[in-house]
Structure 1
């Protein structure tokens, strides 16, 4: 298998870089190793500190001499792409009619008619899903614990009632 990704030209701007599987596996492993060596690289919202992509680039350059992979735009855009896929998967898995096959690492869809985006997701493995859960799991609001002002007032009133009853 080739050790370098491929490049294709686009109509506008710079050529697009395609990662091969070995490079992707190395990047996800490198992200894990860099965070393990210094947990401060990862912020509480699962974003990464400035310089994190550069740390990953250094490890990639030592593992793949002569590669054209760089922190910007390659690593940055790959992580954005992965995060977008993760978010789409999470949205789908929270809808009735979608499931997850843990053995084959793919989405189970009961009907392509339900969600137009499902056509691109069916029978397609996502081998990095568990890694994405760890890296990107808490980086977006789900609304599960959200409450509007009326709910907040009702909760406070109930707490006041409970405190009064206990006294």
Structure 2
């Protein structure tokens, strides 16, 4: 193998993979998120949700609901809807742990932003570095997520206690 010549084949594959990833990235509008959360709540009400998650085929129902509301949309189950729900779940299970700490909650402005001192925030980030970008972000769908994702996983008494603390 001649190391003096750059391996253009590897670079082409890398560039194509990067371009493909960028094309799949699609920001969601707040209206699209509202339609998705409303469709999820309807599925919960219609019995599509069990203690450990949703019945098979629920993602197709969500895609149908989005297509019905937004004609010509290019949102698809994979990767868009599946990714959005995964992100929502991750945030949903992280927020109660933060909010269960003493003197930490949502601010009183009604915009669902985490309210705490800088010292408290530093302690939270030390415990979980993945939350560092969550402080100044608004979480208006949090109450809806409670309806949708509660009981999705069996994580023992600790999670149940955190859940009860966050709902009281």
TM-score, normalised via structure 2 length: 0.70
Structure ranking higher in helix proportion: 2
C-alpha contact (below 8 Å) 2:63/2:81 kept by paired residues: yes
Cα RMSD for the two superposed structures: 2.4
Residue equivalent to 1:56: 62
Higher relative contact order (CA 8 A, sep 6+): 2
TM-score, normalised via structure 1 length: 0.70
2:147 maps to 1:134: yes
Q: How far, CA to CA, are the matches of 2:156 and 2:95 in structure 1?
A: 13
Flag structure 2 segments of 5+ consecutive residues without an equivalent: 1-15, 161-168
Shift in alpha-carbon separation, 1:12–1:56, aligned structure 2, 3 A: same
Work out the number of aligned pairs and report it: 135
2:101 maps to 1:95: yes
Flag structure 1 segments of 5+ consecutive residues without an equivalent: 1-8, 147-167
C-alpha contact (below 8 Å) 1:97/1:110 kept by paired residues: no
For the pair shown, the structure with the greater C-alpha radius of gyration is 1
Q: How far did residue 92 of structure 1 move? A: 0.9
Q: How far, CA to CA, are the matches of 1:75 and 1:33 in structure 2?
A: 16
Residue equivalent to 1:143: 157
Residue equivalent to 2:50: 43
